[in-house]
């Protein structure tokens, strides 16, 4: 029997002896046994502490542009980039060198920046979708016979945050709704609110139909979104190829280790290995940066033609 099994058996025997010496009715014995062995419950004082720990951990989770992260108070927050540290520590132990630990710290900041950029793009896409939904919903309310301010208040501004609250306040209290829409349009992904502001101002001052203008804006924004999604689908293949090529050095290290060549010792403890590591790292960085620039140029060119 293993050490853990012996320890568990001893704990059960001790618990049974304690319950037997305590005496009492069988119901009391069963209740004490459940409290001791079954985990958190009404009679388990540790259950309350575990519940407090669970609530504290849930309260430390925050939603940011880089996804769900752990808040560390004044020290900031951490997310998936923290996995770079144990990976670097493991490579440092395997290679018997501190270089992987230093590289993991640098990689942590780079991965954090990449996650923040990707998260900001997702927030921008969600805000653009919210603008499309807002224009279409307000147009529908106007077709139903509501006044512009009433239609905007009935629909609300989901997905626009505090800027949307400012727009609703301007509509509720007779403020400058076009100006509030232009202020909200400064946020990434909400540029379509500029067209909504122009249509709103023309409708109020010149009596033009606001519903038809909003429907055209929603249709145009929807066409732009579909074009961006189609472009991303076309670029998914090159991105996957670039990722596979970027991971080939790691696959080579694993293959060399499987063959008994000990590549980490060569790379981290010999001058030739240091040179190969520096040159390979520069080539890796150059290839990733070049691929990212090509993809960004393709997206910019496609976006400029909309």
| Digitized pLDDT (tens) for each residue of the chain, 306 residues in all | 443 443 434 444 444 444 444 444 445 545 554 544 444 444 445 455 555 555 545 545 555 555 566 565 555 566 778 888 888 888 888 888 888 888 888 888 888 888 888 888 888 999 999 999 999 999 999 998 888 899 999 999 888 888 899 999 999 998 899 999 999 999 999 999 999 999 998 887 765 688 989 999 999 999 999 988 888 888 888 888 888 888 888 888 888 888 888 888 888 888 888 898 889 889 888 888 888 888 878 776 655 544
Distance in angstroms (rounded) separating the CA atoms of residues 139 and 4: 68
Residue labelled with tokens 């493991």: 90
Structure tokens at 183: 């202020």
- Beta bridge partners, 67, equal 64
Distance in angstroms (rounded) separating the CA atoms of residues 42 and 54: 17
- Residue 193: exposure state from Cβ atoms within 10 A (0-12, 13-18, ≥19): buried
Q: What is the pLDDT of residue 186?
A: 92
Q: What is the pLDDT of residue 33?
A: 47
- Does residue 54 form part of some domain? yes
Tell me the residue range of the domain where 54 lies.
49-78
- Does residue 93 form part of some domain? no
Q: What is the pLDDT of residue 71?
A: 60
Give Cα separations from 131 to 181, 196, 304 (angstroms): 11, 9, 20
- Does residue 61 form part of some domain? yes
The one-character DSSP state at 207 is -
- Does residue 67 form part of some domain? yes
The one-character DSSP state at 61 is E
Alpha helices by DSSP H, 191-246: 192-206, 210-246
Residue labelled with tokens 């239609």: 151
- Does residue 73 form part of some domain? yes
Q: What is the pLDDT of residue 74?
A: 55
Distance in angstroms (rounded) separating the CA atoms of residues 87 and 65: 24
- Does residue 68 form part of some domain? yes
In the chain, how many domains are there? 1
Give the strand order in the sheet containing 77-78.
61-64, 67-71, 77-78
Q: What is the pLDDT of residue 63?
A: 55
- Does residue 38 form part of some domain? no
Give Cα separations from 153 to 1, 138, 146, 296 (angstroms): 70, 9, 10, 39
Structure tokens at 1: 């029997």
- Does residue 159 form part of some domain? no
Distance in angstroms (rounded) separating the CA atoms of residues 215 and 151: 14
Pairing of strands 61-64, 67-71: antiparallel
Please tell me whether residue 102 adopts helix, strand or coil conformation: helix
């Amino acid at each position: 029997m293993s050490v853990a099994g012996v320890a568990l058996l001893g704990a059960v025997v001790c618990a049974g002896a304690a319950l037997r010496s305590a005496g009492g009715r069988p119901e009391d014995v069963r209740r004490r046994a459940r409290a001791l062995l079954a985990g958190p419950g009404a009679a388990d004082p540790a259950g309350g502490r575990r519940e407090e720990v669970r609530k504290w951990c849930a309260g430390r989770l925050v939603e940011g542009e880089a996804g769900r992260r752990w808040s560390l108070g004044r020290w900031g927050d951490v997310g998936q980039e923290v996995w770079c540290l144990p990976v670097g520590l493991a490579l440092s132990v395997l290679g018997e060198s501190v270089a992987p630990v230093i590289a993991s710290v640098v990689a942590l900041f780079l991965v954090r920046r990449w996650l923040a950029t990707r998260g900001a793009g997702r927030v921008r896409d969600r805000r653009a979708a919210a603008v499309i939904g807002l224009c279409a919903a307000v147009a529908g309310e106007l077709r139903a016979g509501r006044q512009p301010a009433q239609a905007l208040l009935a629909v609300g501004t989901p997905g626009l945050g505090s800027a949307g609250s400012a727009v609703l306040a301007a509509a509720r209290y007779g403020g400058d709704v076009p100006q509030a829409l232009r202020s909200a349009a400064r946020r990434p992904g909400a540029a379509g609110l500029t067209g909504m502001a122009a249509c709103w101002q023309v409708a109020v001052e010149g009596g033009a139909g606001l519903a038809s203008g909003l429907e055209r804006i929603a249709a145009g924004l929807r066409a732009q979104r579909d074009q961006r999604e189609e472009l991303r689908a076309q670029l998914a293949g090159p991105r996957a190829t670039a990722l596979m090529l970027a991971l080939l050095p790691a696959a080579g290290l694993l293959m060399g280790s499987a063959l008994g060549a000990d590549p980490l010792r060569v790379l981290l403890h010999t001058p030739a290995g240091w040179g190969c590591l520096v040159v390979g790292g520069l080539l890796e960085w150059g290839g990733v940066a070049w691929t990212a620039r090509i993809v960004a140029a393709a997206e910019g060119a496609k976006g400029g033609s909309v």
